[in-house]
Structure 1
Amino acid sequence: MAEAGTYLYAIAQDLGHALPAGVTGVADAPVRAITHEGLVAYVSPVPLDEFGEEPLRRSLEDLDWVGDTARAHHRVVEAVAEEAPTAPVRLVTVYTGEEQVRDLLRRRHDDFAAVLAHVTGRREWGVKAYAAPAAADSPVAGESAAESGKPGTAYLQRRRASLRNREDAWRQAAERAEHIHATLAATSVASHRHRPQDPELSGREDPMVLNGAYLVDEDHAEEFAAAVDGLRGQGIDLELTGPWAPYSFTVLDLGTTGREMSDDT
């Protein structure tokens, strides 16, 4: 039988809640809790011939494997977050055994307690903003006169006009994204701007100009959603997602003890 490691999903306040029946972790492994002085770490066993340091490098090149692992990871984290304030751990954080996780809870107890206090009663919302594509062929002043001259000159003028239109559209979209982020940041406890996703990840052809995360008090969720609705339009399409566990606001450096490994995928 392959040697097993311990996969860590999240640290939460120990409120005595059990995970809902049927929630399984990576590779459908059972999830168990490790407790220490008001904290609880949620873990499951994983085979080190797949999650050990060397095989993991190969596994991370397999997008299907990464996708399955990420879905299982987030399934556990969201189930935990429904029950208690939660600090999700980065994807694919693996220890050689549960004793290392217990040691982590002992060593970093105050750090975890402070992070969990910050997110108590709050959830993360995501807002993505997409810019409508610029109309490359929109008419500009003087174009009809240019077309009466030499064809080559007319083409160059149309080309320059198209580039100016695109530059103007990008500048306006960027300014609009700054305004949207500032407005939503003012209505949330904390905010974070992630790097915009390219079309392969977003699944949309329109360029993403904002990929924001916002930590919002649970009793202000409707107010936040209303603020998003009030910012729609003006050449920008907004996408609101959530509420989620506070992934963007609970990042802690867990160090490199033992075989701990992590990935930003």
Structure 2
Amino acid sequence: MTGTMSYAYAVARDDDDTLAQALSGLPGVADAPVHLVRAGRRGEMVVAVSPVPEPDFQESALRAHLEDLDWLESVARAHHRVIGALAERTTVLPLRLATVYLDDERVRQMLDARQESFAGRLADLTAHTEWGVKIYVEAPAATERPAAPTAAADLSPGRAYLSHRRAQRHAREDAYRDAEEVARRVEDAARHHAVDRVQHRAQQGELARGPGENVINDAYLVPVGHAEGFRADVLRAGEGLTGVRVEVTGPWAPYSFATPPETEPMKRAAP
């Protein structure tokens, strides 16, 4: 018989014993049922877990699976689905994708050992949500800015080609300068609302599915009461400059802030 391992989704407090109900019938990774592992006998701190096939989540197999985008997307969808269900009821500390333990007892031991640090971080994140801010450069192609007909007629094919390339380069340089300006505006706007920021690597390749080049990929921790103001002010910061697009997503569970930041938190500007 194939063995199983325990897949851990998130840490949370279950003060009123309602989280099990929120997870009832919800399929986790590999469509397995999700349950709670508690600290101690009746601890309020819990970890949401589900059994997963051991052959798929052993270290060597997992390393290979993480290169399979279809498999990874399926696991990520289930991972976020469970965390989203928890986040509707309480503050959660999302764990990294594909966090697995040998069994539930190992999960309990981890929770018992780290209860104090988990409790402190949950208190810090209460009534806050994560918002994503991405900035894209959408420089116009040189074909959209052709030389004037009279000028083009006076150029040899070689010089016309160089002129074409120069126009393309200048258009991109202008767009990148505008993106830097938008990034400054966004950061200034965010300071009036957010209490922390995490700067992620810009998305490329398969992860960058939208139009344009992703140049900024930040996450902000925002008090619930500031959410609408944050979104409106950040989007407004991107207005007025062509070739640059600002995308705001959220609210999300605080994925980027589940562990204490290594740097000083962002200081929210006084109103």
1:65 to 53, 57, 71: 71
Please list, as runs of the form range in 1=range in 2, the aligned pairs for 1:108-187 lying within 5 A after superposition. Answer: 108-137=114-143, 138=145, 148=154, 150-187=156-193
Equivalent residue, structure 1, for 2:33: 30
SS at match of 2:93: strand
Deviations 1:214-260 (A, max 9, x none): 1111122121122133223222322221111100001379xxxxxxx
One-letter code aligned to 1:102: R
Equivalent residue, structure 1, for 2:264: none
SS at match of 1:91: strand
1:200–1:144 CA distance, 2 compared to 1 (3 A): farther
Percent of aligned positions with the same letter in both sequences?
44
1:14 is aligned to 2:14: yes
Compute the displacement of 1:194 (Å).
Answer: 1.4
Compute the displacement of 1:86 (Å).
Answer: 0.5
Distance 2:205 2:65 in 1: 24
Equivalent residue, structure 2, for 1:74: 80
Distance 2:11 2:2 in 1: 27
Distance 1:252 1:32 in 2: 26
One-letter code aligned to 1:24: P
Deviates more, 1:219-228 or 1:240-249: 219-228
Deviations 1:23-66 (A, max 9, x none): 12111111111122431111111121221222222322322211
- The root-mean-square deviation of aligned C-alpha atoms, in Å, is 2.4
Following superposition, which runs of at least 4 residues in structure 1 exceed 6 angstroms of deviation?
none
1:237 to 235, 245, 253: 245
Deviations 1:123-182 (A, max 9, x none): 111122222223424367x99557525443343244334323322322222332233134
Distance 2:86 2:106 in 1: 21
Deviates more, 1:36-45 or 1:169-178: 169-178
SS at match of 1:61: coil
Deviates more, 1:127-136 or 1:41-50: 127-136
One-letter code aligned to 1:248: S
One-letter code aligned to 1:52: Q
Structure 1: gaps spanning 5 or more residues: 254-265
1:134–1:199 CA distance, 2 compared to 1 (3 A): farther
1:65–1:152 CA distance, 2 compared to 1 (3 A): closer
Compute the displacement of 1:190 (Å).
Answer: 0.9
1:182–1:176 CA distance, 2 compared to 1 (3 A): same
Distance 2:254 2:156 in 1: 60
One-letter code aligned to 2:60: E
2:100 to 73, 94, 97: 94
Equivalent residue, structure 2, for 1:249: 257
CA contact (8 A) 2:197 2:220 kept: yes
State the TM-score, normalizing by the size of structure 1. Answer: 0.85
Distance 2:141 2:5 in 1: 54
1:143–1:168 CA distance, 2 compared to 1 (3 A): farther
1:226–1:98 CA distance, 2 compared to 1 (3 A): same
Distance 2:121 2:45 in 1: 12
Compute the displacement of 1:200 (Å).
Answer: 2.9
One-letter code aligned to 1:193: Q
Equivalent residue, structure 2, for 1:262: none
Equivalent residue, structure 2, for 1:194: 200
One-letter code aligned to 2:99: T
Deviates more, 1:205-214 or 1:179-188: 179-188
Distance 1:146 1:210 in 2: 37
Deviates more, 1:92-101 or 1:13-22: 13-22
Q: Which has the higher contact order (CA 8 A, sep 6+)?
A: 1
1:31–1:154 CA distance, 2 compared to 1 (3 A): closer
1:176–1:23 CA distance, 2 compared to 1 (3 A): same
Deviates more, 1:46-55 or 1:151-160: 151-160
